[in-house]
Amino acid sequence: MAGESKKWVLMVTAQTPTNIAVIKYWGKRDETLILPINDSISVTLDPEHLCTTTTVAVSPSFESDRMWLNGKEISLTGSRYQNCLREIRSRASDVHDEGKGAHIEKKDWEKLQLHIASYNNFPTAAGLASSAAGFACLVFALAKLMNVKEDRGKLSTIARQGSGSACRSLFGGFVKWIMGKDENGSDSLAVQLVDEKHWDELVIIIAVVSSRQKETSSTSGMRESVETSLLLKHRAKEIVPRRITQMEEAIKNCDFSSFANLTCADSNQFHAVCLDTSPPIFYMNNTSHRIISCVEKWNHSEETPQVAYTFDAGPNAVLIARNRKTASLLLQRMLFYFPPAPETDLNNFILGDNSILRDAGIKEMKDIDALSPPPEIKDNAYVPKYRGEVSYFICTRPGRGPVELADVSQALLNPETGLPK
């Protein structure tokens, strides 16, 4: 590298999905290495609708490591960023770009500074797993830039040190985070159970109840639960191991009934652990409870469950429908109970794959007002509506893992200056 022109900037841009756990991770046995007290399983959400895009750049002209998140410069001094950067730098290899005249040797990476720009196309820190997509994307993009020769499982152990749930975003489809046994965390990694094509009938509808930043972060919430909840200990030791086996079986066989029963039970138990924490933590709100009641009533009126619900550390509902037909019936129910606030534009209320609206027979706002109460509601029962309680819905599906974006026009950093565009 010595004596080279200081002009070149090398860049990589990647796109990474978020994920939602169907068997939850809640509780660490090691806070620094981020080692969990139980295995967890998640489904990766289609990055077409929810994703993080990150551009990483290196140049001898950069004076320090810098990062911009959603257009604002943020500090990289936090231990989670530092741990990820240190781990990935230590695995870097030689990189040569003849076109740019850039020759980086393995040892040079310790001295070279990085610029990172990242953008989440969904609300940050609102219980939609921005930290998961964010850290997975950071590690994946840096691994490409630095020619890291490790496999995705190994990369997941680095992303895990940014945020536990991030390790699961390195794969598409259904993913298991194996808690591992080693004290150094080397076997606490993610593995893909099946890819996104294995169970492609599933449709996922997210009801965004509130996009305000939450009061208790997942990190401090789970620390408090580990310190005070007896239910958490019982859950990790006695309940989760069995559920993991059952969930793997349900996913392998595309057995929706078992999948839905396990998913709902595990979400409810996670929130019960939060309530069992001292002082108790409330992530769900009244709207969340109303959504649960609506789905439970419907599921009980049918022979088999139609929809699974799951809630992370926030009030937003993630609803998984067995197929497209069920998803359109679900959307009708959701829109009946939670019509949009006055003056809302339908296109801003149903985001993602809004072709499901057509299946649900909704073309304009007046079609929502004309929806009849769902058939599971007893005749002449009073049916309240909760206008405006859901800010918007995102319709999506299981999706693929991280990809590199080769098209430089999608980069978030200027290829000449390495500064945000």
Interface contacts to ligand ATP, rule CB under 6 A: 52, 69, 118, 120, 124-132, 134-135, 138, 165, 217-218, 312-314
Which of positions 179-218 make contact with ligand DP6 (CB under 6 A)?
218
AA letter at 31:
E
Q: Does 333 bind ligand DP6 (CB under 6 A)?
A: no
Q: Does 326 bind ligand DP6 (CB under 6 A)?
A: no
Q: Which of ligand ATP, ligand DP6, none sits in contact with 293, Cβ below 5 to 8 A by type?
A: none
Q: Which of ligand ATP, ligand DP6, none sits in contact with 130, Cβ below 5 to 8 A by type?
A: ligand ATP
280 CB neighbour count, 10 Å cutoff: 12
Q: Which of ligand ATP, ligand DP6, none sits in contact with 176, Cβ below 5 to 8 A by type?
A: none
Strands 35-36 and 28-30: antiparallel
- Shortest CB 239 distance to ligand DP6, Å: 15
As a whole number of angstroms, the distance between CA 36 and CA 180 comes to 8
Name the nearest CA neighbour of 392 among 343, 342, 338.
Answer: 338
The SS3 call for residue 57 is: strand
Do 159 and 139 meet the contact criterion of CB atoms below 8 Å apart?
yes
Q: Which of ligand DP6, ligand ATP, none sits in contact with 357, Cβ below 5 to 8 A by type?
A: none
Name the nearest CA neighbour of 64 among 418, 318, 421, 393.
Answer: 418
The SS3 call for residue 232 is: helix
The SS3 call for residue 290 is: helix
Which lies closer to ligand ATP via its Cβ, residue 126 or residue 356? 126
Q: Which of ligand DP6, ligand ATP, none sits in contact with 328, Cβ below 5 to 8 A by type?
A: none
Task: Please report the sign of the dihedral spanned by the C-alpha atoms of residue 121, residue 124, residue 128, residue 129.
Answer: positive
Of 21-29, 286-294, 315-323, 376-384, the window that binds ligand DP6 (rule: CB under 6 A) is 21-29
- Shortest CB 421 distance to ligand ATP, Å: 16
AA letter at 237:
K
Do 364 and 350 meet the contact criterion of CB atoms below 8 Å apart?
no
Which lies closer to ligand ATP via its Cβ, residue 161 or residue 332? 161
As a whole number of angstroms, the distance between CA 209 and CA 231 comes to 27
- Shortest CB 18 distance to ligand ATP, Å: 8
**Position closest to ligand ATP via CB:** 134
Do 119 and 412 meet the contact criterion of CB atoms below 8 Å apart?
yes
Name the nearest CA neighbour of 330 among 289, 363, 369, 371.
Answer: 371
Q: Does 163 bind ligand DP6 (CB under 6 A)?
A: yes
Strands 113-120 and 66-69: parallel
Q: Does 131 bind ligand DP6 (CB under 6 A)?
A: yes
- Shortest CB 131 distance to ligand ATP, Å: 3
Do 392 and 346 meet the contact criterion of CB atoms below 8 Å apart?
no
- Which of 13, 165, 192, 316 touches ligand DP6 by CB under 6 A? 165
Do 109 and 55 meet the contact criterion of CB atoms below 8 Å apart?
no
- Shortest CB 410 distance to ligand DP6, Å: 27
Of 101-109, 161-169, 197-205, 259-267, the window that binds ligand DP6 (rule: CB under 6 A) is 161-169
- Which of 10, 11, 24, 337 touches ligand DP6 by CB under 6 A? 24
- Shortest CB 320 distance to ligand DP6, Å: 15
Which H/E stretch holds residue 352?
strand 350-352
Which lies closer to ligand DP6 via its Cβ, residue 133 or residue 371? 133
Q: Does 50 bind ligand DP6 (CB under 6 A)?
A: no
Q: Which of ligand DP6, ligand ATP, none sits in contact with 21, Cβ below 5 to 8 A by type?
A: ligand DP6
- Which of 11, 21, 232, 350 touches ligand DP6 by CB under 6 A? 21
As a whole number of angstroms, the distance between CA 5 and CA 359 comes to 59
- Shortest CB 162 distance to ligand DP6, Å: 7
Of 158-166, 182-190, 238-246, 351-359, the window that binds ligand DP6 (rule: CB under 6 A) is 158-166
Do 138 and 119 meet the contact criterion of CB atoms below 8 Å apart?
no
- Shortest CB 240 distance to ligand ATP, Å: 19
As a whole number of angstroms, the distance between CA 391 and CA 209 comes to 6
Name the nearest CA neighbour of 45 among 26, 22, 68, 25.
Answer: 22
List contacts with ligand DP6 (CB under 6 A). 21, 24-26, 34, 40, 131, 163-165, 218-219, 312-313
